[in-house]
C-alpha cells in the first residue's frame, strides 16, 4: 500500500494478517510480529471487513489464506512459493481430507483476493 497506487485485495489481506497477529498468542505458539517487517498503521475497519469474508470460507479455503498470509512467514517462510503451496496442500489434505491440485489452490486464493477487493473497497 503506497500513496501512489490504490489499495487492492492483496494489500487488504496483508493488512488483515497483520491485524490478526496483534492479539494474544494462544497456548505455546511461537510469536511472530509482522510489524517488524511492515510499519504502516493497521486499517482496523478494513481488517474487520476481511475477517467477515474469511469467516464465510470453507475450512480448506481458510487454510489456503493462512498459508499465503497469516502463516506465510511463521510456518512457511523458509520455502519458495511452489514449496509453500505443495506443503500447504499436503497439510490441508491431512487436516480436512480435501485434495487440491495446484490450480485449485491458486484459483481459490485468487477468488478470495478478488472478493476482498470487490466487497471491501466498494
The string of pLDDT tens digits covering residues 32-91 is: 554 455 567 899 999 999 999 999 999 999 999 999 999 998 888 899 999 999 999 999
pLDDT digits (tens, 9 = 90+) for 83-114: 999 999 999 999 999 999 999 999 999 999 99
The reported pTM is: 0.84
**Pairwise CA distance, residues 15 & 42, whole Å:** 6
Q: What DSSP string describes 24-93? A: PPPTTPPP--GGGT--SPP-HHHHHHHHHHHHTS-HHHHHHHIIIIITTTTTTTTS-HHHHHHHHHHHHH
Tell me the domain boundaries of the chain.
9-120
Question: What cell was used for 75?
Answer: 510456518
Amino acid at each position: 500500500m503506497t500513496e501512489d497506487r490504490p489499495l487492492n485485495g492483496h494489500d487488504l489481506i496483508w493488512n488483515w494478517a497483520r491485524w490478526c497477529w496483534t492479539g494474544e498468542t494462544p497456548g505455546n505458539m511461537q510469536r511472530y510480529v509482522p510489524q517488524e517487517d511492515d510499519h504502516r498503521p493497521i486499517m482496523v475497519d478494513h481488517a474487520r471487513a476481511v475477517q467477515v469474508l474469511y469467516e464465510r470460507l470453507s475450512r480448506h479455503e481458510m487454510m489456503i489464506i493462512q498459508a499465503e498470509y497469516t502463516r506465510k512467514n511463521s510456518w512457511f517462510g523458509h520455502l519458495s512459493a511452489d514449496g509453500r503451496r505443495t506443503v500447504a496442500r499436503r497439510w490441508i489434505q491431512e487436516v480436512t481430507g480435501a485434495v487440491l491440485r495446484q490450480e485449485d489452490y491458486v484459483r481459490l486464493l485468487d477468488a478470495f483476493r478478488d472478493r476482498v477487493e470487490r466487497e471491501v473497497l466498494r
